[in-house]
Amino acid sequence: MRTSYLENDLIKLRREFHSQPELNFDVTETSKKIESILRSANIEVHNNIGRTGLVGVIKKGNSNRSIGIRADMDALPVNEANTFDYRSKHDGKMHACGHDGHVTMALGAAKHLAEKENFDGTAYFVFQPDEEQTQGAQAMIDDGLFDRFSMDEIYAFHNLPGMDVGTFATRAGTITGSESLFRIELKGIGGHSALPHMGVDTITVGTQIITALQSIVSRKLNPAVNGVVSVTEFITDGTENVLPGHALILGDTRALSPDSNKIMEESMKSIVNGMAQAHGIEAKFEYRTRTNMTINSPEQARFASMVAEKLVGKENVDEDCEPKLFSEDFSQMLMKKPGCYILIGNGIDGSCGKTLHSSDYDFNDKLLVTGSSYWSELVLEKLG
């Protein structure tokens, strides 16, 4: 295991990040801390990329070969339920997805590579804001990430509760799903709750639409292809004795292929328009894909698995795992560069086994040396 930080140093650093979570693009203090650590290891730093993103550059030798490592920095708007002494000090903010650990592992590898290793090429460490709202990767790209830093390929990983601690999983092709947001607006005729026949209330129509939407995955998609349609909000202007004349239905969908995403969009549109026409009301349907599928390049997926096998043994690496339906804006980077998204087990017990985004989740400190060493080995295998 190669890392310049001792394990206790990594644990201390990770817990400092955990106690000071920041949201979305507002990760100013986190960025400053990362920059300070990188500069202390004499690593070249470029900041304010995509607002609060930054890139550490480690160049050795004369080769033009290069590799990128991406770590996400932001937390979630969650009140932490954990009671340990390093719990969040900011009400309504929590590292409930492990980005505190992702940053720490990348910093451990960067410090080790800068101080201890020789290689021939350039390693770029990309620290990205706003992964949770899936806008940070594109913001960094739009701000010239790949124009200013000519990476040949780029890698990222995410911890995953429910996988044994320190095991790895990835696959060639689609590994995480797209996320699309939908908005359905209904305009009917509200009125007195005792006189429903004199109007067309949007509660009745809206509930029929919501029920019909649940048939899309089971009846429109190939059973071998996963997908999710979730209604998350149903808002009307009705009150206890007033039938609503206006309603909003909001939610999102997840898909593992562009074809499935298109089927869901077209099916939803048909259901909404058909129901509205049948009841004689107005309907407006909007569908926006916010995050694309994360699609790993075959060559880079195999390389990522090979490095993991050398580190933890072949029996601890699944190189053809099942794709996941959560979304990840690293997808935007993989649309520009070849690369691979990798999952690393966070464990199955205690707070480390709790689902991501839950208020009692915690990143597993046992991963820190393994993750830092993995990034170091990946760079050295590519540029050594």
What is the three-class DSSP state of 306?
A: helix
* Contact between residue 178 and residue 289 where contact means Cβ atoms under 8 Å apart: yes
Report the pLDDT value the prediction gives residue 5, as an integer from 0 to 100: 61
Question: In this structure, what are the phi and psi dihedrals at residue 235, rounded to the nearest 5 degrees?
Answer: -120, 130
d(CA 336, CA 16): 33
Q: Where are the domains of the chain?
A: 7-176+293-383, 178-291
* Contact between residue 187 and residue 236 where contact means Cβ atoms under 8 Å apart: no
Amino acid at 85: D
Is the sign of the CA dihedral 312, 316, 321, 322 positive or negative? negative
d(CA 325, CA 288): 17
d(CA 319, CA 169): 6
> Tokens 């760079």 correspond to what residue?
379
Report the pLDDT value the prediction gives residue 44, as an integer from 0 to 100: 98
d(CA 161, CA 323): 15
Amino acid at 305: S
Report the pLDDT value the prediction gives residue 196, as an integer from 0 to 100: 78
Report the pLDDT value the prediction gives residue 244, as an integer from 0 to 100: 92
Give how far Cα 64 sits from Cα of 5, 112, 121, 337, 380, Å: 28, 21, 6, 16, 15
State the CB neighbour count (10 A cutoff) for residue 359.
14
Strand 178-187 relative to strand 246-255, pairing: antiparallel
pLDDT tens by residue, the chain, 384 residues: 565 568 999 999 999 999 999 999 999 999 999 999 999 999 999 999 999 999 999 999 999 999 999 999 999 999 999 999 999 999 999 999 999 999 999 999 999 999 998 999 999 999 999 999 999 999 999 999 999 999 999 999 999 999 999 899 999 999 999 999 999 999 999 877 887 788 789 999 999 999 999 999 998 998 878 899 999 999 999 999 989 999 999 999 999 999 999 999 999 999 999 999 999 999 999 999 999 999 999 999 999 999 999 999 999 999 999 999 999 999 999 999 999 999 999 999 999 999 999 999 999 999 999 999 999 999 999 998
Report the pLDDT value the prediction gives residue 4, as an integer from 0 to 100: 54
Is residue 269 within a helix (H) or strand (E), and if so which, with residue range?
helix 258-279
CATH classification of 7-176+293-383, choosing from 3.50.50.60, 3.30.70.1290, 3.40.630.10, 3.40.50.2300? Answer: 3.40.630.10
d(CA 321, CA 335): 21
* Contact between residue 134 and residue 292 where contact means Cβ atoms under 8 Å apart: no
Report the pLDDT value the prediction gives residue 2, as an integer from 0 to 100: 62
Contacting residues for 12 by C-beta, under 8 A, at least 6 apart: none
Task: Classify 178-291 by CATH class.
Answer: alpha beta
Report the pLDDT value the prediction gives residue 192, as an integer from 0 to 100: 75
For residue 138, how far is the Cα from the chain centroid? 13
Report the pLDDT value the prediction gives residue 80, as an integer from 0 to 100: 98
Q: What is the token pair recorded at 87? A: 């719990």
Amino acid at 300: Q
d(CA 16, CA 127): 17
d(CA 183, CA 329): 21
d(CA 156, CA 285): 35
* Contact between residue 372 and residue 366 where contact means Cβ atoms under 8 Å apart: no
